[in-house]
Structure 1
Amino acid sequence: MFARWRDRVRTVPRYMKLLLAFGVLIGAVPVLALGLYSYYTASGDVEQKMKISTGQVLLQTQMRVEQMMKTLELTAMQYANSPQVTAALNGPLDVTDFTRVRNLYTGLYNLQTLSGMSGGYLVGTEHDWVMSFTSVTPLAQSPLARQLEQYAKRPNNLFWDIEPIAGSGGSGEMAAGVGADGGADTIRMVYKLPILPFTQQPKGFLIIEMLKSGFRSLLAADPERTGEVYALSREGADFLNMLDDPDGEYERINRRIAEAVSRPGASTGFLTEEVGGRKTIFSYRGSAYNGLIYVSEVSLEQLTRQTRKIAVATVVVCSAILAVVGILALLASRRMYSPIRRLAEFTKAVQIGETGGRDEFSSMEERFRTLFSTGQQMKQQMQGQFTQLNEFLMLKLFAGQLSERDFAYRSELYGFPSGWKRLAVLTLQIDTLHDTRYREEDKELLLFAIHNMVSELVPSGHRFSPVLLDQSQVTLITSELEDEAELRSYVHRYAEHIRAKVYEYLQVQVSIGVSRPFAKPTEAVRAYREGLEALNSRLLWGGGIIVHYGDVRTERGGAAAAAFAQLKAAEERLAKALKSDDPGKAVPLFDDYMTEIAERHIGANEYPILLMQLVARLYQVVQESGGHVHEVLGERGSYRQLMKRSTPDDIAEWFKRDLLGPIVDFLNRQAESQGVGIVARIVRLVEERYDRDITLEGIAEELHFHPVYLSRVFKKERGVTFSDYLAEYRMNVAKEWLETTTLRLSEIAEKLNYSNTTAFIRIFRKVVGMTPGQYRERCRQP
C-alpha cells in the first residue's frame, strides 16, 4: 500500500505540489500567529482584569473603612461640642456630681452603640479627672496619663492612633484603674478639647477605642477572586497582625510598598514578589485621608490556572483550523489545471473562510462591491470631519505654524473664501458670569455656544472657520473693501451684531477686541495678539465693549510716574488702616484707591501690575500680623482668582469679598485673642533671659510671628516699646544688686549683657534719673 501511495505522489504535477505546499504554508502561518497572539492577549487580559478587580476591591475596602472612621469622627465631634462636655472641662468632676456625670455617661453610652467601638473616655486634664463607661477616677491614678502627654504634643486636634502602647489604656484598664493590656488590640481616635483653636495644651481629651478585630472584618474579601486583603500603617507596619510572617518576607515587601506609596503621585500600584517559593502579585492603594495602605495579595497560580485552559483551547482550535486548511488546499490544488481556473482558485484561497457567490467570478464580484461600499463609507466619514479639519487649519494659522504657500493650497482644498483684499480678527471673551444664572464651570460650554452662534451670524463667504483658542472665540473676517474707514465700520457692524445676539439669547455680557486690518493670512498671529491687548481695556472702561486696537493708548512719562506715586501712597494708607485699631476703614479707602486709578487714566497694561502690587501689600499685612496667607484667604484670595477678573466692578467685588473681608475678620480675631497671651510670653522670656543677648527679632522667630506685629502688640498692651521695657527691667535688677551686693559696676554691666560699663551707666541714668554710684550712696545713707 505504501508503494502504491508513493507512486501516486510521484504522478502529481510539480506545480500542483508547489500550490499545495503554498496553500498549506499561507494557511499555517496566520493560524499559528493568530493562535499565539490569542493566547498571549488572553493571558494578558486575565492578568489585567485581575489587577482591575483587585484595585476595585481595594477602593471599596478603603471607602468602607474611611466611611466608618468618618462616621465615628462626626458622632464623637457632636458629643465633644455638646454643652455638657464643654461645661465639664471647665471644672472638677467626681461621682458626687450625679446630674453632670449622668448626662456625660449618656453621651458616652450613645457613642458605644457605634459598630466596633470597645471603649470611650472623657478626660479633663486641667482638673485631673477621667470618665469611662463605668467610672470617674483621678487622671493622676490612670496609666493613660503618660500617653496623654504624647497626644498633647501632636500637631492635630483630631488624629487616629493605630498602634497604642500596650498597657497604656483599654476598657478594662480605665474601668478598674489597673494596667490591663488593652492598648495592643485596639485602635484609638483622639480629640483634643476644645476642638478649636488648635493648641498643644488642651483642656481635655475625648478618646474612642475600637477593636482591631472590627477593622479586620472591614477588610474581608473573596480570596479566590481577589486574594487576601490586609492593611498597613504609613510606615508599612502590619498593625492589625493579619500576616503570618515567621521569615520576615512580608516585612520586606511591606516596606517596599510603603516607600512606593510615599512617593508623589504613586498612591496606587502593583508589585510582583516571591513569597514562600511562589510568585505573588501585590496590589496596593494608599489613603490620603488616614495614611493607611490597603494591600491585596494574589498568587500567580490563580492566573496560570485560567491561562492553562486558554492554552489548551487555543491548541485544539489551531489544530482543527490547520487540518481544515490542509484539506481545502488539497482540494483547491486539484482543480488548478488551467490558467483561468488557477486564478479563480487562487482568489478563493486568499478569501478562505468567507462565503461567496455561486462561482469564483460571483465571489470576486461580491468582494469588489464590498470594497466599493467601504470606500463610500470612508468618504462620508471624511465629510463629517471636514469642519474639524477646517478648525484645525485655523488653529495652526493662529499659532504661526503655516507658511503663506501652504495656507493658500489648503485654503483652496478646504473651500475657504477667496477674492478678498483685507482681513481682520475679532477676539471675543466673556466678561463675567457674576450676577448671571451661570456658574464659572459653565464658561467653556457658553464659549462653545457662542462659537456656534458666530458661525451662523457671519456668512461663510465673509469669514474663515471660527475657532476657540484658550478662553477666547476668534474669527477671521474677510472683506473686499480697501478704504480704512469703511473697513473699520464693516468689521464693527459684525462685532456689534454678535455682541447683541449673544446677550439676547444667552444673557451674557461679552467684549470684542478688533485687530488692525491686514492683507497676508500669516499676519493673523499678530492680529490675534492685538485683539487680546485691546480687550485689556476692559480694566479701564468696564465690560460689554467693542475695542479697536488702534484706539488703545498707554500713558507714559512723568505724568504716569506721578500717578504711580500717588497710588503708592493710597496703598500705604489702606495697609495702615488694616493694621490700626479700626480695620473696618479699609473698604472706604479701597474705594478711594479704585477711584484714584480711574481718575489717573492708568494704561491697561499697567493696571494689572498695580493691582498685583496691592494684593502683595495686603499679603504682607497678613504676615506681619502673625498669619499665613493661604490659611487666612484660601484659594479664593489667590493671584489666580484676580487674573480671572476682567472688569473694574468684578475686580472691586473680588477685593472686598474675597480679600479685604477675610483679612479684616482675621485682624479682629487676632486683636481679640492673641494680644495678652503673646505679651505674657514675651515678658516671661525677658525675665528668663535678661542677662543674655535678647532681641525682638529673635523672640519673633522663636514664637513664629512677624517682628513688626509683635512690636505693635507689645506697645498696645504694655504702653511702652519692647526695648524700653527690657532696659527698665534690667535697671530694676541692677538697682536690687546695688542695694544688696558689693558687686562693682563693671561686674553688674557684664551680668546684664552690656558691652561696656559706660553704656550701662548711660542707660541707668536715663531710666532711674541718677548714676549707679549715686543710687548706691543714697541707699547706704541711714
Structure 2
Amino acid sequence: MLAGWKHRLRTFPRYMLLLVAFTTLIGAIPVLALGLFSYYTAASDVEHKMRESSMQVLLQTQMRVEQVMKTLELTAMQYANSPQVTSALNGPIDVTDFVRIRNLYTGLYNLQTLSGIKEGYLISNEHNWAISFASVTPLSEFPLRRQLELYAKHPNNLFWDIAPLPEEDDGGEAPARPQTIRMVYKLPILPFTQQPKGFLVIEMMKSQFRTLLEADSGKSGDMFVLNREGEDFLNASESRGSSSLSINARIAEAIQASGETSGYFHDKVNDRRMVFTYRGSGYNGWIYVSAVPLQTVTEQTGKIAVATAVVCTVIFAVIGMLGLIISRHMYSPIKRLSEMTKAISIGETGGRDEFSSLEERFRMLFSTGQELKQQMQGQFTQLNEFLMLKLFAGQLSESDFAYRSQLYGFPSGWRRLAVLTLQIDTLHETRYREHDKELLLFAVHNIVSELIPQDSRFSPVLLDQSQVTLIASELEDEAELKTQLYRTAEQMQAKVHEYLQVRVSIGISKPFSKPTEAIRGYNEGLDALKSRIHLGTGIILHYGDVETERGGFASAAFAQLKSAEDQLVKALRSDDPGKALEMFDRYMMMIAEGGAGANEYPVLMMQLISRLYQIVQEKGGLVHQVLGDPGSYKQLMKRNTPEDIAEAFKRDLLTPIIGFLNRQAESQYGSIVERMVKQIEERYDRDISLEGCAEALNFHPVYLSRVFKKEMGVTFSDYLAEYRMNIAKEWLETTTMRLSEVAEKLNYSNTTAFIRIFRKVVGMTPGQYRERYHNN
C-alpha cells in the first residue's frame, strides 16, 4: 500500500504538487499568524481591560475619599471662619459664658454629623483653653500639647496629619498605633504664622477610610493607600510582610522618580504573582494601590488560547481542501498549454527580454512617482495655510491669489466671502491651564477643518490667539448669508464644547467679494469679539450688529472708580494687604456698572497695573522677580472677558504682591521688636514705657503695641515685668540686698508694688522665694 502511494506521488505532476503546497502554505501562514495575533491581542486586551478597570476603580475610590476630605475641610473652614469662633479666639472663655460655649459646642458638634469623625477640638493658644465634643479644659491639661507645638511649625495653615503621634500609655507600655487621622487648621487661616492664635483639630477614624476602600475592593482585588514615603498608614496592624513593604517603597519611588501619577507592574508576593496598579493623588500626595492576582488574568487567557487553537485548526483544514480544489483549477490552463505546445521546439533564450526590462523600468518610475506624491501631500496643507496667512497679512494681490487658489484646489464659483474669527473665552474653572491654550487652539483648528466642507471654506489658519476661517458662499442675499454664517458658527461652537469642554466666542465679519478684503474681515471679527466685555462669554456676533461704542465714564463715575483704585492701593500698603482682594472685586464691579466701553477696559487695566507695579518698586522689589512672566503686562492684557481679567489679576498680580508685602512686613516686624527688646534690656532699671519706645523708634505707640504682641505673644508691659522679675530672682539668689533696695534698683516706686508684681509673675513673694532657694 505504501508502494502504491509512492507510485501515485511520482506520477502526480510536480508543478501540481508545488502549487498545492504553495496554496496550502499561503493559506496556513495567515491562519497561524492570525491565530497567534488573536491570542496575544486578546490576552493583552484582557490584561489591559483589567488594568483599565483597576485604574477606574482607583479613580472612583480616590474621588470618594477626597470628596469626604474636602467636605470636611469646607465644613471646618465655615466653622473656623464663623463669628463665634473668631470672637472666642480673641479672648478667654469663662465657665459662666454659657451662651458662647453653647454656640461653640453647637458648631463643633455639627461637624460630628459627618461619618467617621471621632473627636474635634477648638483650641486657643493665647487664652489657654480647649473645647472638645465633650468638655472645656485648660490648655495646660490638654493631652495633645506636644503635637500642637509641632503643628504650629508646619508650613501650611491647613494640613492632614496621617500619622499622628500616639498618646502616652500610663502603664508604661509601648503606645498603641493611632487609629485616627487628624485634619488641622491653624487659626486664623490668613495670614500664615508659626505662632497661631489657635487650632481646629478634627480626628477621623482610619476605619472610615478603610471602609471607603473596601467598598471597591471586590471589584479590583485588594486595595490600600500609601503616603509619599510608601507607608500603608491605614493598615490596622503594626507592620506587613517584608515583600509588601518593598513593593510599597517601589511604588513611592516610581512616582517620585518618573513624575507620572499612575502606572502598573508585576511582582511576586508570598509566592503569588500579582499585578499592582497604582494612582497618585495631586490633592494630598496619597497613592492608591490595587493588587490583583495574575491567576485571575491567566484563567481568561487560557480559555482564549483553547478557543483560538480550535478555530485555527478548523480553518487550516478548510484552507487545505480549498487549496487542493483551487490548485486543480489553476493548473488546468497550464496543462492545456503544455499539451498544446508539446510538438513545438523552443530554443534557449539568452538574457532578459524587453518585457522584463520595461517591467523594471515602469516599477521604478511608479515607485518614484509615489514618493513624490507622498512628499507633496505632506506639504500641501502647510502650503495652503501659508498662502492664507499671506492673504490675511495683505501680502497677496488679487491676480496672484486667484492663480494660486486654482493651483491649491481652493473653492471656486463663490459669490460672497466672510471671515469667522474664533477665540477661547477663558480656561477658568476648566481642566486646562494657560500653557494648554496653544494646543487647544490647534485642536480647535482641526475640528473646524473637519466640520466645514472644503468646497465651502478656504484653509483655516491660526493667527495670534484666534482661529480664523475664510468662508465661501454662493448666496447673494444678505439676510440668507447672515443666517448661514450664524448656523456655521453655532456648529463650530457646539463641536468645540462637545470635544474640548471649553467655551468659545465667534466674531462674524461683514460679507465682501474680493479675497484681498480678508484682512478687513479679520479685523471686523476681532472688533465684534470685543463685545464680550458687555455681553459675556460664549457669544456669536456679527460685526454689523455691534453697538456703537458707549460714550465712556461720566466724570462722577470716573471719580468713584479713582477713589476705589486709591482704596485698593491703600489696602495693599497697609498692614493688612489681604483686604486688597475685596477692594479689587469692588473695583471691577464699578467698572461694569459704570458702563466702560470695550476700548476703555485696556486703558483702565493698564493704569491699575502701573500703580501696582509702583507699589512693588516702592517696597524695594523687582517687578519681574516678584510677579514673573504670568504677571507681565503682555500676559495680563491678553484677557478678553471681565471674568478672565479678574481671575488673572487676582492669581498672577494681586496674590504675588500680597505675599511679597507680607514677607516685607514680617521682616520689618522682627527688626522693630528686636529694637524694643534691646531697649528693655538696656533701660530696665530706669523709667521705660511703650510711649518712650515709640518716641525713640519713631513709631506710633498703638502700632508698636500690636507688632510686639503679634511677634512675642505677650504685651510690652508683661514682657518688661517678667524681665525685671528675672533680674530680681537673680539678685535674691546671689546677694543679700533688702527688698526695698531691689525694688529701688528695678525702678519701682515702692516695695509694695514690687512685691505685688513679683507674686503675680513668680507665684510667691520675694521673701518666700529667697527662703525656698537658700533652703534647697
| Fold similarity call, TM over 0.5 | yes
Shift of 1:255: 3.1
* Displacement after TM superposition at 1:35 (Å): 0.7
| Mapping 1:110-509, distance limit 5 Å | 110-167=110-167, 181=175, 184-220=178-214, 226-241=220-235, 248-262=242-256, 266-333=260-327, 338-339=332-333, 394-399=384-389, 411=406, 414=409, 416-417=411-412, 429=421, 465=458, 467=460, 469-470=462-463, 471=466, 473-475=468-470
Give the CA deviation at 1:47: 1.3
Distance 1:205 1:20, change over 3 A: same
Contact 2:423 2:506 in 1 (8 A): yes
Query: Secondary structure of the equivalent of 1:184?
Result: coil
Q: After TM superposition, list the pairs within 5 Å mapping 1:572-721 onto structure 2.
A: 579=569, 614=607, 616-623=609-616, 639-640=634-635, 642-645=637-640, 681-688=670-677
SS at match of 1:219: helix
Could you tell me how far apart the structure 1 residues matched to 2:188 and 2:153 are? 15
TM-aligned CA distance change 1:59 to 1:7, over 3 Å: same
Task: Give the structure 1 partner of residue 757 of structure 2.
Answer: none
Kept in 2: contact 1:191–1:205 (CA 8 A): yes
Matched residues in 1 for 2:471 and 2:96: separation?
87
Distance 1:661 1:333 in 2: 77
Distance in 2 (alpha carbons) for counterparts of 1:157 and 1:39:
55
Does the CA-based 8 Å contact 1:622-1:663 persist in structure 2? no
- 2:39 is aligned to 39
Mean Cα deviation higher: 674-683 or 210-219: 674-683
Q: Unpaired runs of 5+ in structure 2?
A: 338-378, 427-436, 491-504, 534-540, 545-561, 574-579, 592-596, 681-696, 705-776
Separation of aligned partners in 2, 1:289 and 1:620: 33
The answer (yes or no) to whether the contact 1:282–1:297 under 8 Å persists in 2 is: yes
Residues 630 and 123 from structure 1, CA distance in 2 versus in 1: closer, same or farther, beyond 3 angstroms?
farther
Alpha-carbon shift at residue 112 of structure 1 (Å)? 3.0
CA distance in 1, matches of 2:6, 2:468: 82
Residue number in structure 1 paired with 2:750: none
The one-letter amino acid paired with 1:156 is: N
The aligned counterpart of 2:5 is 5
Superposed CA deviations along residues 662-690 of structure 1, whole A, max 9, x for unmatched, are: 9999999999x999999765431333579
Q: How many residues align?
A: 565
Q: What letter is aligned with 2:63?
A: M
Q: For residue 69 of structure 2, what is the aligned residue in structure 1?
A: 69
Distance 2:108 2:176 in 1: 19
- Is contact 2:19–2:327 with CA below 8 Å preserved after alignment? yes
Do the aligned partners of 1:116 and 1:211 also contact (CA within 8 Å) in 2?
A: yes
Change (3 A) 1:122 1:465: closer
**Conserved in 1, the CA contact under 8 Å of 2:627 and 2:652?**
yes
Partners in 2 of 1:3 and 1:663 — Cα distance?
98
Deviation at 1:58, TM superposition (A): 0.3
Please say if residues 626 and 657 of structure 2, whose CA atoms lie closer than 8 Å, have aligned partners that are also in contact. no
Q: CA deviation at 1:181?
A: 4.6
Whether the aligned pair in 2 keeps the contact of 1:42 and 1:310 (CA below 8 Å) is: yes
Q: CA deviation at 1:154?
A: 2.1
Q: Give the deviation of 1:288 after TM superposition.
A: 1.8
The 1:622/1:244 distance shift into structure 2, 3 A limit, reads same
State the one-letter code of the partner of 1:619: L
1:233 deviation in Å? 1.0
Q: Hey, what's the Cα distance between the residues in 2 that align with 1:410 and 1:341?
A: 59
Q: Work out whether 1:53 is the aligned partner of 2:53.
A: yes
Taking a change above 3 Å as real, the CA distance of residues 72 and 247 of structure 1, as seen in their structure-2 partners, is closer
Are the aligned partners of 2:124 and 2:197 in contact in 1 as well (CA < 8 Å)? yes
Contact 1:467 1:473 in 2 (8 A): yes
Give the 3-state SS of the residue equivalent to 1:58 in structure 2.
helix
Q: Report the alpha carbon displacement of residue 14 of structure 1 after superposing the two structures with TM.
A: 2.5
Q: Deviations over 1:227-253 (max 9, x none)?
A: 221101123222112689766333343
1:393 Cα offset (Å): 7.0
Q: Which amino acid aligns with 2:150?
A: Q
Q: Distance in 1 between matches of 2:7 and 2:523?
A: 93
Partner of 1:732: none
Rounded Cα–Cα distance in structure 1 between residues aligned with 2:106 and 2:171: 21
Q: Describe the superposition over 1:388-407 as per-residue Cα deviations: whole angstroms up to 9, x where unpaired.
A: x9998743422569999999
Question: Contact 1:679/1:713 (CA < 8 Å) preserved in 2?
Answer: no
Q: Does the 8 Å CA contact 1:632/1:666 hold for their aligned counterparts?
A: yes
| 3-state DSSP of counterpart to 2:159 | strand
3-state SS of paired residue (1:22): helix
Q: Offset at 1:215?
A: 1.3
Deviation string for 1:457-499 (max 9, x for gaps)? Answer: xxx9xx9737464425454999xxxxxxxxxxxxxx9999989
Distance 1:715 1:608 in 2: 43
Write the mapping of 1:5-24 to structure 2, written as runs, cut at 5 A: 5-24=5-24
CA shift in 2, pair 1:714/1:16, >3 Å? farther
CA contact (8 A) 2:272 2:293 kept: yes
Taking only the aligned residue pairs, the percentage that are identical comes to 41
Distance 1:415 1:157, change over 3 A: closer
CA distance in 2, matches of 1:179, 1:144: 19
Give the 3 Å change call, closer, same or farther, for CA 263–544 of structure 1 in structure 2.
farther
Closer/same/farther in 2, CA of residues 342 and 82 from structure 1, 3 Å limit: farther
Between the aligned partners of 1:109 and 1:534, the Cα distance in structure 2 is 61
Distance (whole Å) between structure 1 residues aligned to residue 679 and residue 698 of structure 2? 21
Residue 16 (structure 1) shift: 3.0
CA contact (8 A) 1:495 1:512 kept: no
Name the Cα RMSD after superposition. Answer: 6.4
Q: What amino acid is aligned across from residue 395 of structure 1 in structure 2?
A: E
Residue 503 to residue 121, structure 1, CA distance change in 2 (3 Å):
same
Answer yes or no: is the 8 Å Cα contact 1:391–1:465 preserved in 2: no
Contact 1:31-1:321 at 8 Å conserved across structures: yes
Distance, in Å, in 2 between the alignment partners of 1:213 and 1:10 is 82
2 CA distance for matches of 1:393 and 1:325? 50
Which whole-Å CA distance do the structure 2 matches of 1:683 and 1:413 have between them? 75
**Separation in structure 2 between the aligned mates of residue 657 and residue 22 of structure 1, nearest angstrom:** 72
Instruction: Name the CA distance, whole Å, in 1 between partners of 2:650 and 2:293.
Output: 60
Q: Distance in 2 between matches of 1:503 and 1:4?
A: 85
| 1:312 Cα offset (Å) | 1.9
Measure the CA separation in 2 of the matches of 1:661 and 1:320.
Answer: 68
Q: Which moved more, 1:303-312 or 1:108-117?
A: 108-117
User: 2:17 and 2:488 mapped to 1: Cα distance?
Assistant: 78
Q: Does the 8 Å CA contact 1:158/1:190 hold for their aligned counterparts? A: yes
Secondary structure in 2 matching 1:298: strand
Alignment partners' CA distance in 2, 1:499 and 1:713: 69
Stretch of structure 1 that moved more, 60-69 or 72-81: 72-81
8 Å Cα contact 1:167-1:183 kept in structure 2: no
- Specify the code of the residue in structure 1 equivalent to 2:181: I
**3-state SS of paired residue (1:643):** coil
What do the CA deviations read for 1:310-330 (whole angstroms, capped 9, x no partner)? 122212221222122223333
For 1:530 and 1:153, locate their aligned partners in 2 and report how far apart those are by CA, in whole Å: 61
Deviation at 1:121, TM superposition (A): 1.9
Opposite residue 71 of structure 1, the aligned amino acid is T
Distance 1:417 1:117, change over 3 A: closer
Offset from partner CA, 1:563-622 (integer Å, 9 cap, x none): xxxxxxxxx99998975699999989x99xxxxx99xxxxx9xx9999897565233245
Instruction: Please give the secondary structure, in 2, of the residue aligned with 1:234.
Output: coil
Alpha-carbon distance in 2 for matches of 1:339, 1:59: 67
